[in-house]
Structure formats: structure tokens, C-alpha cells
Structure 1
Amino acid sequence: MNRTAKAIVSATLAMGTVFGVGASVEQPHHNQAHAATTPYYTYSGYVNNDGSFLLNKTFKNAVKYGNVTFNGTKIVPQSGTSSKLNNFSKYDQSFFSVKSGKKTATSVQIKVNNVTIKQLKSVYGKDLVEQADVHGHKNPNTDAYKLVGGQNGNYHTPVTFVQKNGKVQSVNIGFEGSGA
């Protein structure tokens, strides 16, 4: 190899080293799994007829994923059978369950009076559906509204709003057949 060629090669290597230009081996990408956090909602204390938590995005996401707790009692689907219902109250909320104890319940009923159907529609949109009476008739002044959508047409934790003249009277959060 002549002197000129050696000079060009060594100059190229030197410049590549100085400026970081050169051949490199690409490292394979490693996919790392990160733990997903399931949305949850925890309420503590008295509701005092204040249903503003129903308009909270955190509450909305928690009922979609079935992760709702009121005063230390988690709302869960009914499992097992019992000839005796376990109804109990904490603060101003009524819980219904088929299991003994107060750590889980199949539903909770809460009285509210400061939330309107219009406000609920602005938060839940098309997921909030008016329920017809037993004869299939709808009466917008007295019908209950239910959240549908999400998994299999229902929120993971069902929510039913009882209203009169567009004003929510109470909310039932939980599963049917729970004594509620």
C-alpha cells in the first residue's frame, strides 16, 4: 500500500473517532413489560347527599374497571350463595352482600340530591342510557338511568341512577341480585 493510501485511511479513522462516525453494531431492542395500574376509586366518610363524586373522571374510570371502594368496603360481583343477606350501613351508605363481614359487598346505595341527569350526560355521554319501565315505556321524569358500554355492554361495576324530574335522588353502585 502506498503512502498516500495509508495517510487517507489513517486520517479517516482518526476523524471517525473524533466525530463519532464509524461502524457500530446495533444492539437489539429489549421489550420490557411494565406493570399496568388498574384505575381505582376510594371514598371515605359521609356523602351527605353530595353526589359530585359521580362526575369525577377517576370514579368513571374505576367503575369501568370494577375497582370501587366505599369506606373500606370493596364492591365486588356476587359469588356463592347464602340464604341470609348481609345488609349493613357505614356512615350514610347502605351496603348489601351475600357474604358475612364488611370488607366486600355486592352493592352500595347512596342518596344524592345535587346532581342532574344533564350533568351525568355531559360526563358519561352515550354510556348513560334511560331504562324503560316493566312495560317497555319510557318516562324521562321518573325513569332510572344506567351506565352501559365498556365490557360486554356494561361497565364492569354497574351503576344505576334513580331520578325524578331530571334530578338524581340516589345511586346504586353494584351488581343485581345483591339484595339492593
Structure 2
Amino acid sequence: MDEKCGVVGVSLADRAAARPLYYALYALQHRGQESAGIITHDGFQQHSHVEMGLVGDAFSEADIAELNGPNGIGHVRYPTAGSVDSSCAQPFSVSFKSGSLGLSHNGNLVNAAALRDELAGLGHAFTSDGDTEVIAHDLARNLLDGDLVSAVERTMGKIHGSYSLAVMH
């Protein structure tokens, strides 16, 4: 069965997010078989594991144990835009002056190329040709001027298409 990507996020008060995220991705595997990834946050830093392949093949017990923190996002990919290689595997992580950002995205943007050109003109360097990285860079830029909610509102006002996002900052 071919679907679109699977996107999930959890925030737990009393335990690590990695294993529930793993099981959620396993349940969403029908939505994407190209790659699987998890980013968690322990309150100080992000921990990331993203691999090509099915969920069961992408994560070992050691990988899950290293994903510390009660908060996290996950993604399984069915490619609709961008290369079919690890450069477009998600969740996508961006580090910037005031911290880091994790982003899982499902959907397609109709103005990704124009926004990529605008951001490149401002000095942003891209490592993939997917639209997820464009969203992540715009969010990071907007986070320099405010809080996460304001940054998401500004970014959503610029991107056009059909999509869902899970964001962690």
C-alpha cells in the first residue's frame, strides 16, 4: 500500500519518548517505507537517529537507548518531493544561534523553490533538495525574532500547499 509520510510527536512527563515513538512509527509504517527517524530532546540537547529503510531495520535497541528525553518527534517517509536518498530522510534537524529545531513534515509545498531562493539569498545553505529543509530554515530564521508559536505562524503564512508538521524546539 502506498500512502504519504507518517508524522508523530510525543511529550511524556514520566519516561523516555523513544520507545513510544518507535512503536508509533512501526504502526505508521504503511505510510512510508523509504526511511525512518526519531529526534528526542532531553531539555538540553537533541538526540537524533535517522536511517534509510523500514522502522524495524532502522533502529536497534542501542539506537533507542541513546535517544534520551521525554519529548520527541518521528517520521516515516514516502517520497513525493526531493531526492530518494538520506539527504531527504526525516525528521530534519537545524542548529542555529539560539538553539536547535527538529521538524517532521508530510505534504507538498507549491512555493518551495521560490522560498528556497529567498533563503539562499539571505545566506542559508541547504543540504537537500526537499521542501522540508526549506520549512526548517524558514522556521529557524523566524525563531531568531520570537517564540515558537510566532515563528510557526510566520512560516505558515509564507508556505503554500497541503501539509502537516510536527515541530520540536
- TM-score, length basis structure 2: 0.28
Larger Rg: 1
> Whose strand proportion is higher, 1 or 2?
2
> Whose helix proportion is higher, 1 or 2?
2
Instruction: Name which structure has the greater RCO, CA cutoff 8 Å, separation 6+.
Output: 2
